[in-house]
Structure 1
Amino acid sequence: MDVIVLGGGLMGTASAYFLARRGARVTLIERNRIGTGATVASFGNIRRTGRHLSQLPLAHRSLRLWNEAEKMLGRDVEFRATGHIRLIFDDGSLADMRAYAEAARAWGLYLEELTSRDIHARFPGLGPGAIAASFSPHDGSGNPRLIAPAFADAARRLGVEIVEGAEVAAIRHTGPDFLVTTSKGSFTAECLLNTAGAWGARIAAQFGEEVPLDARGPQMGVTEPLPYRIPPVVGIWTRDKDHGAYLRQVERGNIVFGGAAERVAVDLDPGHAVADPTRLTTQLRAVARLLPAIAQVAVIRTWSGCEGYVRDMLPVMGRSMTTPGLFHAFGFSGHGFQLGPGVGDAMAELIATGCCETPLDDFRIDRFGRAV
């Protein structure tokens, strides 16, 4: 079986790797460089807490692969299962957390509820005003700058052809095959996998499948290093987007943070997202609620990236409903990093065998037409 994968982020490189492991002949085409789109803009959060319940089977599958990543890929991608804590500052958010925890238990996710005393004893310096928290000990973080190149290199060792800097000029379904014409030549295959991120809806539309997707850029930042004292990823339970901050401390001591700032609109041509410095003060105020010490350190860099947000905040995954041999995996709406290895494994299974052990029905591309 020949497969062309469009898009060289985490979803595309993981898919190429797992397809090659199943014996497929794979060509991956990337318009820029591997891992330079939404993947590199990611916060690096590997969390299952707070996900839409229908995503949890895929998230569990992916977490197993994150745990195997170093052995599987032959390098350390800085996955650390240090846990994920979400702080709670009001009774309404505590009720929300408890309701989610009860519902998620049936899907195999078990959250520990921490009291204020627990938080201060186990994680001193975090959320002095928090009344409670949830804790998921098996989640954690990884390095967004390492994971896609690691999958790409492992895929190359399995024979995958990776073509970077290739602008796609045309895609045609010619009889049994797909013909993809690019600035680096033309490629044919019997299957086409669309992992083009924020550009994925454009590709789907060429085959009569409309997806309501907007391109947005998150605002991310990192501080100078501090002594390493915060192992878990830190977030918050809140309905107030102005307080929806999150942070993690890398082993080198720097604190990576995001959230609590409106995502900026991104023009897909050329598709570059730029952080807005005027939003940094508000963002840091929200982050300081989680970690007051951040007010005493310098921010050394901010950045953004182009992500695709679907109207219902669920990804598009699975086979095309209009074109045999076409498959989609895009629109992860800013929370795809944890899912990446599982997405690649699941799509490879679906393409190679025609079925998938992980339920994907909620992510079908025709759900928008059915809802009309």
Structure 2
Amino acid sequence: MPGPRVTPVHGDETLPEKVDVVVIGGGIAGTSTALELSDMGLRVALCEKGGIGQEQSSRNWGWVRISRRDPREIPLMAEALRMWPGLTARIGRETGFRRSGIMFAGRTDKEMADYERWAEHLRPYQLDCGVLSGAEFDAVMPGCREPVKGGFFTAADGRAEPQLTAPAIAEGARDRGAAILTECAVRGIETSGGAVSAVVTERGTIACDAVVLAGGAWSRLFAGNLGINFPQLKIVSTVMRTAPLEGGPEAAYWSEHFAFRKREDGGYTLASGTANIVDIVPDSFRLAFKYLPALKHQWRDLRLRFGPRFAQEATCARNWRNDEASPFEYTRVLDPKPDEKINAKTMAALIENFPVFAKAEITQSWAGYIDVTPDAVPVISAIDTLPGFFMASGFSGHGFGIGPAAGRLMAELVTGRPPCVDPHHFRFSRFFDGTRLEPDDGF
């Protein structure tokens, strides 16, 4: 079964001759960047090799959360939480955002104590969050039979609809004058005096002063053709959705073996809380040293798999000329198969602990590729070796909720305006300046 149905966006027929900024990639990071730049009065072209939001931006859980984030991301996510409530009105199209809250299960006394410590990271933001147990927990999670001590609940967190949001933001950017170009892969970049001067697409050349690469799981391949070594690997995540279900919780919930959140249509999006698949590919060996520190945090959650993806990436061109067809023209959308064994275990655990889901009808399942950096923190940064080239990639499964603010920060860096948050932790140079690359759970 193919990926989820995404609101279609019909691309512009005409390629602009010149713009101020070209954004590569039509996911939530790219569309949000295009929206912010357009609102600043810049001429923008967004180029997407396939359709808007067709890859991970429509395949994620739809969570908009500041809870349990890497502390380095918290200031930017706080900015995103300020932006989300007004986004639908701003762009004139529905995103499905609701402040429904998110609960993380606390199964042991240690986990509950860890949550108490983690809550200190949010104290400066005066958000409604904290550890709940007993009747308070039951009020948020009625019908829960999981043997937990309680949980960490952030009422300020919410949900939105991934199949609506990136297309809605793209149309909002187009309303402000941006060119939205679908089925328009960017093959490469032209320079003048050592700085960006144009992009070459499969449909022709667009002159520009700056380029933002927001290519998700494709960013390493595109950057590598420019001689830029972006450490990035991919993880496969499997997701399901249900038909409308009466009597389920309003708040989202995470536990080790399952996670869920209510959808606007009354159904639920479901997934394993931890099980993800890592395909062994040539880059697994090229980048092994940089990812070793992360393995001590996440190895229990990763299922290594050697399969056809190795040969696909081994035979994929890593270098090409601007007058040659690029790999992006041969694969428009990454659409991995969902893992039905993971789905079956997820449903069994969910029904055992929330019996209301025994009535749920699974209507679709899909999978997506999450792009991951060694420290699980994104790059939102200028690339110093190529003036005029910027990157907003590597969101490591956290990109949907933080996307609107990431676009704002990226636009501010491109234009030289004061940034909404300190961008230091998102700098590209951290991969090569001796910084220890390791995820931070905040405990």
Q: Same fold (TM over 0.5)?
A: yes
Cα distance, 1:220 vs. partner? 0.2
Cα distance, 1:335 vs. partner? 1.1
1:263 aligns with 2:281: no
Residue equivalent to 1:192: 211
Residue equivalent to 1:333: 396
**Cα distance change, pair 30–122 in 1 and its aligned pair in 2 (3 A):** closer
Aligned partner (choices 45, 48, 73) of residue 66 of structure 2: 48
**Cα distance change, pair 108–312 in 1 and its aligned pair in 2 (3 A):** farther
Distance 2:118 2:97 in 1: 26
Give, as a single letter, the amino acid of the residue that structure 2 aligns with 1:40. S
Q: 1:138-217, aligned counterparts within 5 Å?
A: 138-175=156-193, 176-217=195-236
Cα deviation per residue 1:162-196 (whole Å; 9 max; x = unaligned)?
11101222223233433222222211201010111
Distance 1:165 1:365 in 2: 28
Cα deviation per residue 1:39-77 (whole Å; 9 max; x = unaligned)?
011110001000011111100111111011121011221
Cα distance, 1:346 vs. partner? 1.2
Cα distance, 1:262 vs. partner? 2.1
Cα distance, 1:82 vs. partner? 1.1
**Cα distance change, pair 277–122 in 1 and its aligned pair in 2 (3 A):** closer
Cα distance, 1:109 vs. partner? 4.9
Cα distance, 1:278 vs. partner? 2.3
Q: 1:46-125, aligned counterparts within 5 Å?
A: 46-106=64-124, 109=127, 111-125=129-143
Aligned partner (choices 261, 269, 283) of residue 248 of structure 1: 261
- CA contact 1:261–1:283 (8 Å) conserved in 2: no
Bigger shift: residues 276-285 or 15-24: 276-285
Give, as a single letter, the amino acid of the residue that structure 2 aligns with 1:262. N
Bigger shift: residues 13-22 or 110-119: 110-119
Aligned-residue CA RMSD in angstroms? 2.0
Residue equivalent to 2:319: none
Cα deviation per residue 1:222-261 (whole Å; 9 max; x = unaligned)?
123211542111113xxxxxx2531012243212111332
Unaligned runs of 5+ in 1: 237-242
Distance 1:302 1:98 in 2: 35
Identity among equivalent positions (%) equals: 29
- CA contact 2:380–2:409 (8 Å) conserved in 1: no
Residue equivalent to 1:221: 240
Cα deviation per residue 1:125-175 (whole Å; 9 max; x = unaligned)?
124422111111111100001111111111111110111101222223233
Residue equivalent to 1:239: none
Residue equivalent to 1:135: 153
Unaligned runs of 5+ in 2: 1-18, 280-308, 314-326, 436-443
Distance 1:64 1:105 in 2: 16
**Cα distance change, pair 281–80 in 1 and its aligned pair in 2 (3 A):** same
Distance 2:34 2:114 in 1: 39
Distance 2:234 2:85 in 1: 31
SS in 2 for 1:95: helix
Distance 1:48 1:278 in 2: 30
SS in 2 for 1:318: strand
SS in 1 for 2:433: helix
Taking structure 2 as the reference length, what is the TM-score of the superposition?
Answer: 0.78
- CA contact 1:218–1:264 (8 Å) conserved in 2: no
1:282 aligns with 2:295: no
SS in 2 for 1:159: coil
Distance 1:318 1:254 in 2: 38
Q: 1:11-22, aligned counterparts within 5 Å?
A: 11-22=29-40
Residue equivalent to 1:367: 430
Distance 2:203 2:247 in 1: 46
SS in 1 for 2:184: coil
**Cα distance change, pair 289–343 in 1 and its aligned pair in 2 (3 A):** farther
SS in 1 for 2:136: helix
Residue equivalent to 2:299: none
- CA contact 1:209–1:366 (8 Å) conserved in 2: no
Bigger shift: residues 29-38 or 245-254: 245-254
**Cα distance change, pair 74–132 in 1 and its aligned pair in 2 (3 A):** same
- CA contact 1:220–1:275 (8 Å) conserved in 2: yes
Give, as a single letter, the amino acid of the residue that structure 2 aligns with 1:93. E
- CA contact 1:114–1:134 (8 Å) conserved in 2: yes
Cα distance, 1:264 vs. partner? 4.8
Aligned partner (choices 360, 378, 389) of residue 297 of structure 1: 360
**Cα distance change, pair 62–286 in 1 and its aligned pair in 2 (3 A):** same
Residue equivalent to 2:387: 324
**Cα distance change, pair 324–244 in 1 and its aligned pair in 2 (3 A):** farther
Distance 2:398 2:85 in 1: 19
Aligned length: 366
**Cα distance change, pair 314–127 in 1 and its aligned pair in 2 (3 A):** farther
Bigger shift: residues 119-128 or 134-143: 119-128
Residue equivalent to 1:240: none
